[in-house]
C-alpha cells in the first residue's frame, strides 16, 4: 500500500499495490504501480524492500 508518511499507521492508503501472506508465502504485486511509486520517491519499509528484492522489482527501476 502507498500511504503518505504524514498519515496515521492505519490510515487510508493512496493505492493498494499488492499483498503478502507469510503463512503460505503467497505474494501478489502490482509491479508497474510499484515501479511508478518508487520512481516518484516512495520509500518502502525494510520488510517491503525485502519482498520487492525477492520479486526482482528493483531491477525494473534501473531500466
| Rounded alpha-carbon distances, angstroms, from residue 17 to 1, 11, 34, 57 | 5, 15, 6, 12
What does the pLDDT read at residue 8?
Answer: 59
Q: Write out the residue range of the structural domain in which residue 57 sits.
A: 29-61
Beta bridge partners of 15: 2
Q: Is residue 33 part of a domain?
A: yes
What does the pLDDT read at residue 1?
Answer: 57
Q: Is residue 9 part of a domain?
A: no
What does the pLDDT read at residue 14?
Answer: 79
Q: Is residue 37 part of a domain?
A: yes
What does the pLDDT read at residue 61?
Answer: 84
Return per-residue pLDDT of the chain as tens, 63 residues: 565 666 555 667 778 899 999 999 899 999 999 999 999 999 999 999 999 999 999 998 875
Amino acid at each position: 500500500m502507498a500511504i503518505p508518511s504524514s498519515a496515521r499507521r492505519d490510515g487510508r492508503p493512496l493505492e493498494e499495490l499488492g499483498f503478502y501472506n507469510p503463512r503460505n508465502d503467497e505474494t501478489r504485486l502490482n509491479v508497474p504501480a510499484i515501479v511508478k511509486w518508487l520512481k516518484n520517491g516512495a520509500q518502502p519499509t525494510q520488510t517491503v524492500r525485502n519482498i520487492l528484492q525477492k520479486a526482482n522489482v528493483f531491477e525494473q527501476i534501473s531500466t
